[in-house]
């Protein structure tokens, strides 16, 4: 929950997020106007500059991949839309539990037909994932 609280507060800056250097933050980000996601890390929010216009002020900053040689990882300035919430259909925990308790559901099959999902929630286009789930290929 701290991840979303950080992203929702427009006053946060990169320094606030990285107070504890022992924690590795990784996330999945929805690539706008596509059905793809990408794994990013080193997340932060660009600080505003004093007496000048900053191109990264209040934007979500991240690192992507490992890069190569002297360049290091790719540095991303993500569209601020990934921080805004979008409505989406979602099964409730009780609905998922009820289907799985039946004992006859195949793990590679959908839990419910999309037309039957009526619950709606608002989510960001960025979601935290555990760093150890990121596998290097």
pLDDT tens per residue, range 79-99: 778 888 888 889 888 988 888
Q: Which domain holds residue 76?
A: 2-85+124-133
68 assigned to some structural domain: yes
* pTM score, whole prediction: 0.60
State how far the Cα of 75 lies from the Cα of 32, in Å rounded to an integer. 17
55 assigned to some structural domain: yes
23 assigned to some structural domain: yes
Strand intervals (E) in the chain:
26-30, 37-45, 60-68, 72-78, 86-89, 120-123, 126-129
Helix, strand and coil content of the chain, in percent to the nearest 5, comes to 20, 30, 50
61 assigned to some structural domain: yes
Share of residues in the chain with pLDDT > 70 (%): 80
Cβ distance 85 to 125 under 8 Å? Answer: no
Total of domains in the chain: 1
78 assigned to some structural domain: yes
47 assigned to some structural domain: yes
pLDDT for residue 24: 61
Calculate mean pLDDT across residues 17-28: 64
């Amino acid at each position: 929950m701290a991840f979303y609280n950080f992203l929702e507060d427009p006053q946060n800056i990169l320094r606030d997020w990285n107070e504890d250097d022992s924690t590795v933050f990784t996330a999945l980000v929805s690539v706008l106007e596509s059905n793809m996601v990408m794994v990013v890390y080193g997340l932060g929010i660009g600080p505003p500059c004093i007496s000048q216009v900053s191109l990264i002020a209040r934007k979500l900053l991240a690192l992507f991949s490992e890069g190569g040689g002297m360049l290091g990882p790719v540095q991303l300035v993500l569209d601020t839309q990934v921080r805004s919430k979008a409505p989406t259909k979602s099964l409730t925990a009780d609905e998922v539990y009820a289907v799985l308790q039946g004992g006859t559901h195949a793990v590679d099959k959908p839990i419910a037909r999309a037309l039957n999902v009526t619950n709606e929630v608002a989510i960001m286009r960025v979601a935290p994932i555990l760093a150890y789930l990121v596998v290097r290929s």
